[in-house]
Chain A
């Protein structure tokens, strides 16, 4: 658990972060979202003490972070940034192994961990591990950056716009990976982004920041349904609010489930349980169908979802 109490950061006369209170529960993904210069990165960098705070308290699991040794504190917090900051003179494997090395893990445990993480992030331990950062694509480099942040098995993960510099398709892929990894590892995560869609997708809770203050701190659904101010309303965009709400829920939540999964004929088109309702609606509009079958992971038909249902109960 991370608690920020009355935290302020000044740069000269300018106030970058203005007396914010924020509690991030264990296992939660808290996304700080706001336009550039709103103080979200500054807040993040105060949590691992890359920046000292001007006043206020930051507690991790009830302990004041200023009491701990800054290096020891950071070793227990994975850190990934937009420009990756991979060490250009080290191979991918050595880059990922940096925190295990600092923690003085035995070589075998470290190598196993590196391979495990390469696999987890969809990289090939045989070919990618021996590459140097300049040989990687932007998406691969960012995967390595995330793997490096996870390597020491930290309790807390700090991510500063890690996918900000990637193209839309790669970013989408990595967001999916993030969700999958988070389901597996359940790390307390603080994630900074300026992209509200990314925030809605990844967050269990969103903190909207503006001019150094937290405007609203709530679940994605609550932020969409009850924006606290005109600023938040503007940020989430009035036009496609309904679609964004649909995107938060999965087909599995809404469908009519059969008592027994049925064997399906091959090549039937349909949805998967994990698809979002937004995706389901899009498919229905495109195919002009009023009802679609839903399949589980084993390609068994487990239920159907109707357009009527979607329109009435989806958002």
Chain B
């Protein structure tokens, strides 16, 4: 239970802040004097938060499914020919900045949430794919040999041995991917998706630091919350054989 203490505290803080920001007008007036509009009111912070989380959650789910299946496929006998190609794509993809993916998606898919989702999925794929390959590839060959020698079918080897053993590494990949995508989703506001990036963009365009601050604080908090959630999951799932080494 103690592992969940930190993420719960972060969630409470995030929700509370989203509710309390409009009431903190004096503070923001001090940050941005000389104007009456110091609280972003075009949408409620809750709505933005919700839409932001939805985008990240959707992209992470799709990305995980695609990347893990691809990783599994290229490590089976049938797909092994594609392994060098896919692992090369996975590492090259990491060098493209997320903004570039977003910019490239617009001409193809127009403005709105769809291109944002597409860009998020695409960019989020790579860390998961890379970690899936590393996780599956890092399993001691003797363990796989004995699993087969015991009489497990290929599916049983995959689900009972390979995925559980690679799970922690794959989870770490998902964690990286989601954390990056929380930041990238905010940039989605530039192409018309409704996210916590809205106040930031509006603030930058209108020269309103208060707006920027409100968006940025919530995005930062969301990233911290998510990260501590993953940390808790990793701790709980890895507790059983914490110090086990695959050698």
Contacts and interface: CB of A to CB of B under 8 A. Distances in A.
Interface of A: 48, 50, 71-75, 77, 79, 81, 83-89, 98-99, 102, 132-134, 145, 148, 152, 158
B140 interface: yes
Interface of B: 140, 142-153, 156, 161, 164-165, 240-241, 243-246
B70 to A, nearest CB: 24
17 contacts: A48-B149, A50-B145, A71-B151, A71-B153, A73-B151, A84-B142, A86-B143, A86-B146, A87-B143, A88-B245, A89-B240, A89-B244, A102-B156, A132-B244, A133-B244, A134-B243, A148-B150
A158 B146 CA distance: 11
B142 A83 contact: yes
A83 B244 CA distance: 15
A50 B241 contact: no
Given A71-B152, A85-B142, A85-B146, 9 more contacts: A48-B149, A73-B151, A79-B149, A85-B144, A85-B147, A86-B146, A87-B143, A88-B244, A102-B156
Contacts of B246: 88
Interface pairs A-B: 6 shortest CB-CB = A85-B146, A74-B151, A79-B149, A75-B151, A83-B142, A85-B142
A98 B150 contact: yes
B33 to A, nearest CB: 59
Contact of B151 (A72, A84, A89): A72
Nearest to A148: B150
Nearest to A80: B146
B142 A132 contact: no
A87 B161 contact: yes
Contacts of B148: 50, 74
Looking at B148, B150, B241, B243, the one whose CB has the most chain A CB atoms below 10 A away is B150
Contacts of B161: 87
Given A71-B153, A133-B244, A134-B241, A87 B142 contact: no
Given A81-B145, A88-B244, A89-B244, A74 B150 contact: yes
A99 B244 contact: no
A83 to B, nearest CB: 4
A134 B152 CA distance: 22
Interface of B is mostly: helix
B144 to A, nearest CB: 8
Contacts of B243: 134
A86 B144 CA distance: 9
Nearest to A133: B244
Given A88-B244, A134-B245, A99 B145 contact: no
Contact of B152 (A77, A83, A102, A133): A102
Contacts of B140: 83, 85, 88
A290 B240 CA distance: 60
Contacts of A89: 164-165, 240-241, 244
A100 B217 CA distance: 55
A50 B146 CA distance: 10
B145 A88 contact: no
A189 B150 CA distance: 16
Contacts of A133: 244
A157 to B, nearest CB: 12
A88 B150 contact: no
A41 to B, nearest CB: 11
Given A85-B145, A87-B143, A99 B150 contact: yes
Contacts of B164: 89
Contacts of A75: 150-151
Nearest to B168: A89
A133 B153 CA distance: 23
A79 B146 contact: yes
A77 B146 CA distance: 12
B141 to A, nearest CB: 9
Contacts of A72: 151
B79 to A, nearest CB: 20
A88 B165 contact: yes
Nearest to A103: B151
Given A71-B153, A102-B156, A87 B147 contact: yes
